[in-house]
Structure 1
Amino acid sequence: MSGRSPGPTGRSWVPAAAFLAVACLAALLYLPSLGNGFVNWDDDAMIVENPYIRSLGPASLAWMFTTDHMSAYQPAGWLGYALIYKALGMRPLAFHLASSLVHGLNAGLFFLLSWRLLRLHRASGDGPSARAALLAGAVFAGLLFGLHPLAVETVALASGFADLLCIFFLFLSLLAYLDSLEAQAPSRNRLLALSLTLLAVSGLCRWKGVVLPAAVALLAVHPLARFRKDRGRAWAELAAFAGVAGLILLANALAKAHGAGYGLNLRLLEAGSAVLHYAAKVLWPAGLIPLKELGPAAGFGTWEPLALTCLVTLASAVWARRFPGLLSLWVVFLASLAPPFGLKGPGPLFAQDVHAYLAASAFYLAGGALLARAWAARRGRTALACGAACLLALLAGVSLRQTRVWKDSVSLWTHTLAVDDASHPARTNLAAALINMGREDEAVLHLKDQLARHPGDEMARFNLAQAFFRRGGAFEPDLGKVHNNLGADLFSLGRAEEAAYHLSKALALAPASANTHHNLAAVFLSMGRVREAERHQARWLALAAASASGSRH
């Protein structure tokens, strides 16, 4: 399913080499995730505590194809988990390795898609130099897809494998469709059938691929103009893709718990807030957390986000003649975000990075098109290449840091609270993880705070009772130990300033804590405060020596 014309430099091996390079770089970026564990954010319910993925017997297969567990219909996704378990067992490394490899393949496939689509739109003209520019733009788009921090949640979360598998088959489906447009009968019909089959498989993994009919319709309008040249076949193909996507949506809509009582103006507010949130995170991927409440919690008024979204859409339409692909990419971005919004049940809407994994690709393709245009101009290519490389290196660095956030449940929810102190699930989930680690005194503080903010949180109340039970009744938490552990957790996430604050508070409560002095020495050294680091290191050695001497008597 590659292009039929020679490579952009006249060498047919160039696209294949570029595919391998993009795929390998994207996969290697997540090598550190192989040391991560499972987290109590879907991993437990979907993988660790799910007995049905531990077997490929008739009962398990029947469950996979009939269940709406976790409010989703994803039989191929469950099957994917089961195959990983059968191959390597219930080891976090197995799931993270599979996710990293599929993400690498997705990045490579997105490079191929970008190359094909940029050629269709003639983003940089014709000729050998223009073809080289197209390759540069497509590689840049593929690397943006592979290295951008918005992909971290989907790749570093073990249960995100089903989403990755969904996008893998979706990209294959679109490539097969593009091949069908260049083929002659009967190959065209076979490729179209293959594309529809791959879309169905994508939908059986997860529902994210339902955006494909929108892409097919937009391609038919521009640049192919198929509704003028081959109207009957274009409509028939669009109806076939829409039918498959409709069945996927229907199956997942039935799996969702719908209800009433959530007003239209709040839904519209959230729709606008979601678009702004995800667009902003593509352009400035800072403060990424698993769950961010939208709507009033996002700090906007009722209609401003929706008005701004409409304004951007109108501007894209106005500029459509000069930049015809701009409107198409914006519409694909909106269409990719519509399913998670439309399938959401009653209650507030939360932003999750996993929903941006596919949607953000519209921005990446736009970035590739801009680079291709600039490259074709032949001026300042060295500066352009250096700028693109620096941007990609920066994104990769942020992604590496974000991958550490997903190391375990404690690091995940500690980071979440540091970014958003009002996060509803963070305290309860952090407390549950702390209880499992035997750190009940810290868990109690978080749970009391959670119940003060949300008195109706029954899970927090249950976890609080569990913490008291484990400690044999009421107790006063050791605040010095709490601050020391929190400081150590923050330092492991690279948040040295916040770590120093909590470790200093721990030292004020327990001046003779050798462990706290040792932690502060490491933090201050990382901050370049060498003298303070040496002072705490000396104090740690003295306390450790005194403790060892005392233990011998």
Structure 2
Amino acid sequence: MPAKSKQKKKLGGGRKEGAARVVAESTGVQSRLLFGVTPAVIALVTIVVFLPTLRNGFVNWDDETYLLENLHYRGLGWEQIHWMFTTCYLSTCMPLTSMTYGLDYVFWGMNPIGYHLSSLLIHAANVVLFYFVSLRLLRLAASSSADSRRLPIQLAAGFSALFFSLHPLQVEVVAWTLGREMAVAGFFFFLTLLCYLKAAEKESMAASRWRWMSAAWLFYMMSLLGKEIAMTLPFALIVLDVYPLRRLGNGRGKWFGSQVHSVWWEKLPFLLLAVAAGLRAVLGKQGTEAVYPIESYGLLPRLAQVLYSLAFYPWKILIPTGLSPLYPFRPFTGLWNLPLLWSAVFVFSLTAALFLIRRRWPAGLAAWVFYAVLLAPLSGIVAFGPHLVADRFAYLPCASLAVLAGAGLFYCWQLWSRGRLGFRTLVSTQTFAVLLLTGLAVLTWQQTRIWHDSERLWRHALAIDEKSSFAHNNLGLILARRDALQEAINHFRRAVQIDPAFVEAHTNLGNFLALQGSRQEAIAHLRQALKIDPAFANAHNTLGNILADGGELDDAIEHFRKALQTDPQLAMVHYNLGRTLARRGDIELAVTHYRAALKITPADPDIHNNLGLLLASQGKLDEATTQFREALRLNPGYAKAYFNLGKVFSQQDRLDQAVDYFQQALRIQPAVAEIHENLARVFARQGKKSEAVKEYEEALRLIELRRKPGSAG
């Protein structure tokens, strides 16, 4: 009986092994097919889930400053390329990313759909690259003999890629036009990893190895030119060398022995590139308020912010709710802070646990350290901006955690193939993976719509955190733009109530209080802004405008000049100073400032028009005509320029042309009495009395209408 029982057991085991072989053979054919299809499916799913971004516009969070108001990036000529590679605009150095915006402008002009499409396609390309990175890492971690075309590894890598792609944390990078810098840097970052892994595999083939390593150095440089977010990559590569490449550690001489000298030397070009990028980033932010100095934000608060950042992103990966475009910067001033304590416990406990089990599960510690190393430059060590943390900062660091998620799925396949996991349990894990990706896709689809427009964006930010002074300020600007002036003022008041030292909010509050007629309160807020920051150019400019409107021309001119001392490249301040000087009678100096404004923003029709008026007043009619024509080229519907050209031609006795331009102006603005009056004078000079009388009567009618109480005119 015992022998029989043993025979039965053997037969049962044979059936199981046979089934496994059948599955392996069938999956071999499928895997070869999937090797080409999987990346295409991953890219397609990514594009479909992020499709709502194509309906989004630009938002008033650097989009307007960098894209709508900035003319320097528009195109790919030598002038634009030179600017991109020599200027850190808005304290940011990202020449390759700027080139993508220049390309967008060439194809799309200022249509936001093109810019969002480019961001989406770059993200989709990144997902495909990340799929191949995951595939290589999983194959290395599984065993040296594991074939990358095996179906389970491909499915696991596909899961990693989709987990990375579809997670709501990635929405900010794709849906926010200026968030593209992370995606551009990520594209070359993943190419760097692929080349590095390939070079490591060619250890015994020197020529081939150095070709791949040289490509890795080149792509790393391009990643840093996209955005210097991967400055710590050289240290992250050391993590990969330990596991899963196993080029370092575990053995005598495996850290600093002669056999691993080349492993260390190959990091030198990476390190030099990282240092150069770091210095460029620091110099780009020098003299700005982007970086908090160590005197005002000490070492302990920075370390507290690092701990909070390290815990924040894994938590949001697990529970991706309450995501916001802005998590306001609030310094940690004491240790007895619940979020900080929770973060410290999480980080230290997880690190200790992973270290203790590193021999049984080296992948866990490697993924965690890789994540921490990549996050380091964005974690608060160098504190900058109005945010404590930001969704976009997770774009590259969390890639290692996505690989870990795929490894978990592959581990289930391995357990099943070894008979240590039931088939139903295997199916349950695969079903859970599909449901998880579906849930992430739904959340991401919803999150993309938050970025549809500025008002929706900042209302969402305030729904997450009502005490965000930055969100109140930006929402106020949007509300003021659509003439909801009182609601806008309420948000500016709330912003300065939350943060009394918020100079931008004081300035905006002053500006819109003046428009509402509360001149003295407006001036008080602007003076408060200048008390906080005496060099804040926007406050000087706004106060100058209010003083000029009140006839205090000398004081206004003084404030405009102080604004230009802070930043001589402010075209609007040159323009306002020119207008005020002209009112004071300093025509030559006014012309000088108008010309200075046009050097900075040559495509502003208002400046061309006003310069033309001053030149005409000096009798320089031909030069004035040139300026008015340029204004019309830039804005063919500019009624004032048509009217001013009509006046110039009238002065030159070119009466037929004067009539043409006055009539063009009236087609655009038929209810302006002054245009009818000037047209009437020209008709009278031409001897066309009936036409002249008709235009005079219309001018008088419009003047009388304007005098009536309640008239809109």
The TM-score by the shorter chain falls in which range?
Answer: 0.7 to 0.9
Q: Residues 95 and 349 (structure 1 numbering): CA distance in 2 closer, same or farther, change over 3 Å?
A: closer
Aligned to 1:137: 156
Query: For 2:245, what is the secondary structure of its paired residue?
Result: coil
1:382 and 1:462 map into 2 onto residues whose CA distance is 61
Match of 2:294 among 249, 260, 276: 260
CA distance in 1: counterparts of 2:213 and 2:352, whole angstroms: 33
> Any conservation in 2 of the 1:42–1:159 contact (CA below 8 Å)?
yes
Alpha carbons of 1:221 and 1:142: their partners in 2 closer, same or farther (altered >3 Å)? same
Q: Is the 8 A contact 1:269 1:303 kept in 2?
A: no
Please tell me whether residue 196 in structure 1 is matched to residue 230 in structure 2.
no
- Closer, same or farther in 2 for the Cα pair 1:131/1:231, shift >3 Å? same
Asked if the contact 1:43–1:159 (Cα under 8 Å) also holds between the matched residues in 2, the reply is yes
Is 1:45 matched with 2:49?
no
Higher mean alpha-carbon deviation, 445-454 vs 223-232, is at: 223-232
Partner of residue 84 from structure 1, selected from 104, 122, 134: 104
Question: 1:281 and 2:300 equivalent?
Answer: no
Higher relative contact order (CA 8 A, sep 6+): 1
Equivalent position of 1:396 in the other structure: 441
Deviation at 1:8, TM superposition (A): 7.5
Change (3 A) 1:152 1:291: same
User: 1:276 deviation in Å?
Assistant: 1.3
Q: Among 247, 250, 254, which residue is 2:279 paired with? A: 250
Kindly indicate whether residue 188 of structure 2 is the aligned counterpart of residue 169 of structure 1.
yes
Does the 8 Å CA contact 2:306/2:381 hold for their aligned counterparts? Answer: no
In structure 2, what residue type is equivalent to 1:310?
F
Q: Where in structure 2 are the equivalents of 1:58-457 lying within 5 Å?
A: 58-122=78-142, 131-183=150-202, 184-227=205-248, 228=254, 230-257=259-286, 258=291, 259-261=293-295, 262-292=297-327, 293=329, 295-296=331-332, 299-300=337-338, 305-341=343-379, 344-345=382-383, 350-378=388-416, 379=423, 380-457=425-502
The alpha carbon displacement at 1:46 in A equals: 2.0
Q: Deviations over 1:29-83 (max 9, x none)?
A: 1111101000111212222211111133333222211112222221111111111
Q: How far does residue 465 in structure 1 lie from its aligned partner after superposition?
A: 3.1
Are the counterparts in 2 of residues 294 and 350 from structure 1 also a CA contact under 8 Å? yes
- Match of 1:94, SS? helix
Who is 1:460 aligned against?
505
Q: Contact 1:256–1:343 at 8 Å: present in 2 too?
A: no
Contact 1:130 1:376 survives alignment (8 Å): no
- Shift, 1:349, TM fit: 5.6
Q: 2:646 aligns to what? A: none
Kept in 1: contact 2:148–2:154 (CA 8 A): no
CA deviations 1:173-220 (Å, max 9, x no partner) are 111111222332322211111111001001001012224223321222
Displacement, 1:238?
Answer: 2.0
Of stretches 167-176 and 461-470 in structure 1, the one that deviates more from structure 2 is 461-470
| Mean Cα deviation higher: 114-123 or 180-189 | 180-189
Per the alignment, in what secondary structure is the counterpart of residue 186 of structure 1?
helix
CA distance in 1: counterparts of 2:373 and 2:399, whole angstroms = 12
**What does the per-residue CA deviation read over 1:391-414, in whole Å, with 9 as the maximum and x for residues that have no partner?**
111111111111111001100000
Cα gap change, 1:362/1:444 in structure 2, threshold over 3 Å: closer, same or farther? same
Paired letter, 2:306: A
Distance 1:58 1:129, change over 3 A: closer
Q: Secondary structure at the match of 2:282?
A: helix
Is the Cα contact below 8 Å between 2:73 and 2:83 reproduced in 1? no
CA distance in 2, matches of 1:247, 1:239: 12
Tell me by how many angstroms 1:341 deviates. Answer: 3.3
What is the identity percentage for the equivalent residue pairs of Structure 1 and Structure 2?
Answer: 33
**CA deviation digits over 1:93-146, x for unaligned, max 9?**
1110001111111111111111110000117x9668993221121111000011
- After TM superposition, give the deviation of residue 307 of structure 1 in Å: 4.9
SS at match of 1:145: helix
**In terms of mean alpha carbon deviation, does 369-378 or 343-352 score higher?**
343-352
Note closer, same or farther for the CA distance 1:340–1:231 as it changes in structure 2 (3 Å cut).
same
Query: 1:468: how far off?
Result: 3.4
Contact 2:409 2:430 (C-alpha < 8 Å) held by counterparts = no
Q: Distance in 2 between matches of 1:83 and 1:347?
A: 28
Per the normalisation by structure 1, the TM-score is 0.79
- 1:307 & 1:239 partners in 2: Cα distance? 36
More displaced, 430-439 or 372-381? 372-381
Change (3 A) 1:323 1:89: same
In structure 2, what is the equivalent of residue 25 of structure 1?
Answer: 45
Cα separation, 1, equivalents of 2:353 and 2:196: 30
The whole-number CA distance in structure 2 between the counterparts of 1:153 and 1:392 is 18
- 1:307 and 1:385 mapped to 2: Cα distance? 32
Distance 1:421 1:351 in 2: 17
Q: TM-score with structure 2 length normalisation?
A: 0.62
Question: Retained in 2: the 8 A contact 1:118–1:369?
Answer: yes
Cα distance between partner residues in 2 of 1:8 and 1:218: 33
Instruction: Between 61-70 and 88-97, report the one with greater CA deviation.
Output: 61-70
Q: 1:361: Cα distance to partner?
A: 1.3
User: What secondary structure, in the 3-state scheme, does the structure 2 residue paired with 1:350 have?
Assistant: strand
Q: Is the 8 A contact 1:270 1:294 kept in 2?
A: no
Sort the Cα spacing of 1:346 and 1:94 in 2 relative to 1 into closer, same or farther, 3 A.
closer
Q: Which has the larger radius of gyration?
A: 2
Distance in 1, matches of 2:363 and 2:269, equals: 24
How far, CA to CA, are the matches of 1:347 and 1:114 in structure 2?
33
The residue number in structure 2 matching 1:485 is none
In structure 1, the residue matched to 2:650 is none
- Residues 252 and 142 of structure 1, relative CA distance in 2, 3 Å threshold: same
Secondary structure of the 2:325 match is: coil
CA contact (8 A) 2:303 2:381 kept: no
8 A Cα contact 1:409 1:430, kept in partner: yes
Q: Distance in 2 between matches of 1:202 and 1:348?
A: 25
Per the TM alignment, residue 242 of structure 1 is displaced from its structure 2 partner at its CA by 2.0
CA distance in 1, matches of 2:148, 2:135: 15
- Are the aligned partners of 1:173 and 1:198 in contact in 2 as well (CA < 8 Å)? yes
Report the alpha carbon displacement of residue 161 of structure 1 after superposing the two structures with TM. 1.7
**Segment drifting more, 184-193 vs 209-218:** 209-218
Q: Where do 5+ consecutive residues of structure 2 fail to align?
A: 1-24, 249-253, 417-422, 520-713
